[in-house]
Structure 1
Amino acid sequence: MDVGLLLLIALCSLAYWLYSKNKDYNVLCFFTKRVKTVSGAPVETIAPIAPGRTIFGNAFDVYGFDHAAIFQHQRKRAKEMRTSYLEYGMGAAVYNILDADNMEAVLNDQNLITKSIVYNFLKPALRTGLLTSTDKKWHSRRKMITPTFHFNILSQFEEIFKAESIKFVQQFAKDTEIDISLSELIPRFTLNSICETAMGIKLDDMAEQGDRYRDNFSMIEKCFIRRVSNPLLWFDKIYNMFVASEFESAFRGVHEFSSEIIAKRRTLLEHEIKTRMDQQTPDEDIYINKKQRFAMLDTLIFAEQDGLIDHRGICEEVDTLMFEGFDTTSIGLIFGLMNASLNPEAQRKCYEELSEHIADDLSNVDVNQLSKLKYMDCFVKETMRLFPSVPIMARQTVRETQLSNGLILPPYTQIVMHVFDVHRNPKHWSHPDEFQPERFLPENYQDRHTYAYVPFSAGQRNCIGQKYAMLEMKTLLVVLLKQFEVLPLVDPKEFVFHTGITLRTKNNVKVKLVRRQQN
């Protein structure tokens, strides 16, 4: 038979095979299984499909983009699509959520607790702690750590937050006014706080190591974006071959810092237990004296003694909780103080409330007093609405999953929840881009969709440290605003936002502190 004829038959056969497969697969997206509907209607009747930049669907839509370009791409696409939408990427469909109804459906689904594939990019740094683990391991660790964030323990942590806040403000004790960079100072404050509260270790003699730890996480975030923006680097073999060596020192530095923290705490804990035994402390109080602080790390060390976790497991959870404890909270405080500077009326209301409930002697501030600051609570919540520390959350299906809106998601569909856009969705918020703390007064949020505001996620994988974060943020705001007025130094229109692991600005956030005249 003629070679040309054979070739023609082969090409026709291939074309027919591709056509038949395209009923269920987006062939040019590396055989991505398509999303269907329960009714059999076109999927576009429920969720529009975003156009891709290349013939490979959306796989290369952010190829080569930096942090800022990715952020702008996500915001532009949200405005164009105006509703939750679909993309087809590298071997998987991607369902992008922009509204509270879909957010609720996903976060409340007991079968949707597996994190998206992009969380694997964090495992070289965070390993498989609470943030990245799933199934039995996640359930076991969550159950183990949850008691360490009980209200009674948080009340003890408040003493540390207060001491660290006073120490932070004392940096400016001799100044009547001073310009400061929040982007540089606040992360140091939050890292000190998480180490002393959750880890039981003061960083007073480890300042340089703490600075290097934060620098290393900046490098890790660059690595994360590098992989997110290049689908070829989603494959570990390609990443390890061409890129991994650039960031190896950052991963190693993070692990060395957490290992040093663990070693120090083990030594201190052994000394504390020996001291209590020498003092003939009752057996039931040797491991936890309710009158003393009980660090989260202590819980893990005692669990190790009971065979519930090993040393590697302790390292996993320490890496995770240190990162989440210092980074996300620092972002909330940076944007909170920025909002105070840009919204003088809101700042005035916070100060008047402080003057009413908080005495000038800040050493007596406690959890009960902070709970009376209702307007400040609204202020912090509105800050997290406009500037959620984690602007995106993502899960993936492990089996075919039917959503309440009629979509049928195939296995390994990536579900991307755009918290930033849900928090600014005009369907849920009037004047969504304006800073209005009053939205969170009880009389104003009763009819609002519960899942229109999810800065700490929701459902069974909600943030374990949300009360911890709120307490820390409010404490620093109280101590700082009690003594200083915060004035703006930068026009917010000049801010360039970018998405990495968390929400940031490309430029440093700076403010002016002006000492208040004491009556």
Structure 2
Amino acid sequence: MFPAAPKTQLVLGSPGPATVAPKDVHFYDFLKPWLGDGLLLSAGDKWSSHRRMLTPAFHFNILKPYMKIFTKSADIMHAKWQHLVTEGHTHLDMFEHISLMTLDSLQKCVFSFDSNCQEKPSEYIAAILELSALVAKRHQQIFLNVDLLYYLTPDGRCFRRACRLVHNFTDVVIQERRRTLPSQGIDDFLKAKAKAKTLDFIDVLLLTKDEDGKGLSDEDIRAEADTFMFEGHDTTASGLSWVLYNLAKHPEYQERCRQEVQELLRDREPKEIEWDDLAQLPFLTMCIKESLRLHPPVTVISRRCTQDTVLPDGRVIPKGVICLISIFGTHHNPSVWPDPEVYDPFRFDPENIKGRSPLAFIPFSAGPRNCIGQSFAMTEMKVVLALTLLRFRVLPDKEEPRRKPELIMRAEGGLWLRVEPLSASQQ
């Protein structure tokens, strides 16, 4: 999956020591022109400082208002599905529809911007999708690792053009937001917005300060916003698409999830998932986690050891070695997960979790550099999955999808499922 690296590489596919190690820069350099020095790509003191500063952006008080955004974006997607079904289109590519839905949500959560991208073309959204595809394509073409060569190719020129478009969009939002801030009392102004529950990610980035009272520069804010848009859409779309696939293949689990949601929302109109409801969906949560084990959105991560690391069997990984940690391999290791190809949500029953290594299940990575947005992602997946199962029955397509690991876990030619709208009485 990764191109050749300049140092020795080691592939790990089982739970091991949680050692602090920075990300290997070789592959991630391909993303630098797009994402800048955000959390994904920064290192050292800058990463530590930004991680501390951005952690409040994912506090549950910030996430709570996003619930309505997730619901609205899911409503739009489901209305599209209803329309397509009435026209006779019951086979849908989950990746295509869910990716647009997650991008729609993210634009609203990050920028408070509604592009209506699920219903009409958006130049900004098209650019993000193009950048993701170009990076995935480039890192499979070793001869294009050299920037000088890459930017002479048509793909390289497209990449630069799409970067400019995405950066210009983010810069305009930041500059406009700064212009609307009062010249004095900025903190009070933003805190008032927070009390009114209208804070978006840009607001939080403008509000945050380090221990010395210094805020983020416009360049830093752009890097973090662009990173969140990149990391937050594809991974969540992959997680949602594959859990719908797994539930389509296991109708008994799908029906149990549906009954759990129906019972929760039985006397409510409109049918909306609220923050406190999330803890009342234990089986649905188990189904999501088992799908993330079987089909982790990110299949491999890369780390460079900053010190000699002793493995449980006594062998030592020397300092400087680049480790490719196979999340997919760990999740499919039969010594850790018996019958690893079997979809069994009960693996995540509280009784069955006891005694299992916390590093046996790492869909969001692990250690200090784990995914800062995992609560955001899990919240969105729970809301969208619950509403989807409340309104539709999902059925498998005739052809079994082939897993296709790129930047995220995809399916060759798309992940196609059949959808059947449920009547009001069935909901």
Partners in 2 of 1:412 and 1:328 — Cα distance? Answer: 29
1:282 positional shift: 10
Could you say what the CA RMSD is over the residues aligned between the two structures, in angstroms?
2.8
Aligned equivalent of 1:202: 114
Partners in 2 of 1:444 and 1:142 — Cα distance? Answer: 33
1:116-515 to structure 2, matched below 5 A, reads 116-174=25-83, 175=85, 178-204=90-116, 207-226=122-141, 230=142, 234=145, 239-246=146-153, 247-264=156-173, 266-268=175-177, 270-271=179-180, 273=181, 283=188, 288-303=193-208, 307-359=214-266, 361-492=269-400, 495-515=401-421
Partners in 2 of 1:165 and 1:321 — Cα distance? Answer: 20
Partners in 1 of 2:273 and 2:23 — Cα distance? Answer: 40
Report if aligned partners of 2:290, 2:348 keep a CA contact under 8 Å in 1.
yes
1:71-127 deviation line (CA, Å, top 9, x unaligned): 9xx9xxxxxxxxxxxxxx754221211111x2xx1xx223x1343532223223322
Tell me the matched-pair count. 414
1:22-48 deviation line (CA, Å, top 9, x unaligned): xxxxxxxxxxxxxxxxxxxxxxxxxxx
Partners in 2 of 1:257 and 1:186 — Cα distance? Answer: 21
Report if aligned partners of 1:389, 1:503 keep a CA contact under 8 Å in 2.
yes
Q: Which entry has the higher C-alpha Rg, 1 or 2?
A: 1
1:133 positional shift: 1.1
Once the two structures are overlaid, the 10-residue window that deviates more, 359-368 or 432-441, is 359-368
Question: Unaligned stretches of 5+ in structure 1?
Answer: 1-69, 75-88
Could you tell me the percent identity over the aligned residues?
Answer: 27
1:210 positional shift: 1.1
Report if aligned partners of 1:153, 1:293 keep a CA contact under 8 Å in 2.
no
Partners in 2 of 1:379 and 1:150 — Cα distance? Answer: 24
The alignment partner of 2:381 has SS state of helix
Q: Does residue 518 in structure 1 map to residue 424 in structure 2? A: yes
Partners in 1 of 2:308 and 2:164 — Cα distance? Answer: 37
Report if aligned partners of 2:38, 2:223 keep a CA contact under 8 Å in 1.
yes
Partners in 1 of 2:46 and 2:262 — Cα distance? Answer: 47
Once the two structures are overlaid, the 10-residue window that deviates more, 459-468 or 171-180, is 171-180
TM-score where L is the length of structure 2: 0.89
1:128-167 deviation line (CA, Å, top 9, x unaligned): 2111111101111111111010011111111111111111
Q: Which has the higher contact order (CA 8 A, sep 6+)?
A: 2
Cα 1:90/1:365, change in 2 over 3 Å: closer
The alignment partner of 2:137 has SS state of helix
Cα 1:152/1:282, change in 2 over 3 Å: closer
* AA aligned opposite 1:414: I
Partners in 1 of 2:190 and 2:169 — Cα distance? Answer: 27
Partners in 1 of 2:370 and 2:52 — Cα distance? Answer: 13
Partners in 2 of 1:459 and 1:410 — Cα distance? Answer: 19
Partners in 2 of 1:211 and 1:450 — Cα distance? Answer: 38
Partners in 1 of 2:127 and 2:417 — Cα distance? Answer: 25
Partners in 1 of 2:9 and 2:381 — Cα distance? Answer: 34
TM-score where L is the length of structure 1: 0.74
Partners in 2 of 1:480 and 1:469 — Cα distance? Answer: 16
The alignment partner of 1:390 has SS state of coil
The alignment partner of 1:450 has SS state of coil
Report if aligned partners of 1:158, 1:367 keep a CA contact under 8 Å in 2.
yes
1:440 positional shift: 0.6
* AA aligned opposite 2:408: T
* AA aligned opposite 2:79: Q
* AA aligned opposite 2:71: K
The alignment partner of 1:324 has SS state of helix
1:365-397 deviation line (CA, Å, top 9, x unaligned): 201112201000001001100111110011012
Cα 1:475/1:242, change in 2 over 3 Å: same
The alignment partner of 2:216 has SS state of coil
Partners in 2 of 1:285 and 1:260 — Cα distance? Answer: 22
